[in-house]
Amino acid sequence: MLRYRYRFFVILLCTLLCSFVFSAPTVVADSPAQLVPFEVLFDEGNKIFYYTPEYYYPKVGEEITSRPKNGLYYNTNPLTNIYYLDENVHISDMGLYKGSMVFSDDGMCFAYFPWPWNDGITWGITGLRYKGETTGQAILFFNCGQLVKEYQVKDLLKNVSKAHISISHIDWAKSRVFNADNNVLTVTTKDNRVYQFDITSGKIVRQSTGVTGKLLFVFLLVMVIIPCTGVIIMRRNALNCFSVHRT
Query: For 77, which DSSP code?
Result: S
CATH, range 31-209 = 2.40.10.480
d(CA 170, CA 99): 17
Residue 22, pLDDT score? 46
Beta pairing class for 137-143 and 109-112: antiparallel
Domain ranges of the chain: 2-20+213-246, 31-209
pLDDT at 19: 47
Closest by CA to 222, choosing from 86, 21, 56, 3, is 21
Average pLDDT over residues 170-196: 95
| Cis-peptide, bond into residue 78, ω within 30° of zero | yes
48-106 pLDDT, tens per residue?
999 988 776 666 666 666 789 999 999 999 999 999 999 888 776 555 778 889 999 99
Q: Tell me, what's the pLDDT at 32?
A: 56
Cα gap 160→180, rounded to integer Å: 30
Greatest mean pLDDT among 92-101, 169-178, 203-212: 169-178
pLDDT computed for residue 173 by the predictor: 93
Tens digits of per-residue pLDDT, 100-137? 899 999 999 999 998 876 666 666 655 666 666 666 88
Task: Tell me if 96 sits within 8 A of 35, measured CB to CB.
Answer: yes
Question: How far is residue 187 from each of residues 9, 33, 113, 138, 184, measured CA to CA in Å?
Answer: 41, 24, 11, 11, 10
Q: Using alpha carbons, select from 180, 187, 178 the residue that is nearest to residue 207.
A: 187
Q: Which of 21-30, 152-161, 178-187 has the lowest mean pLDDT?
A: 21-30
Q: Give the pTM.
A: 0.70
pLDDT at site 233: 67
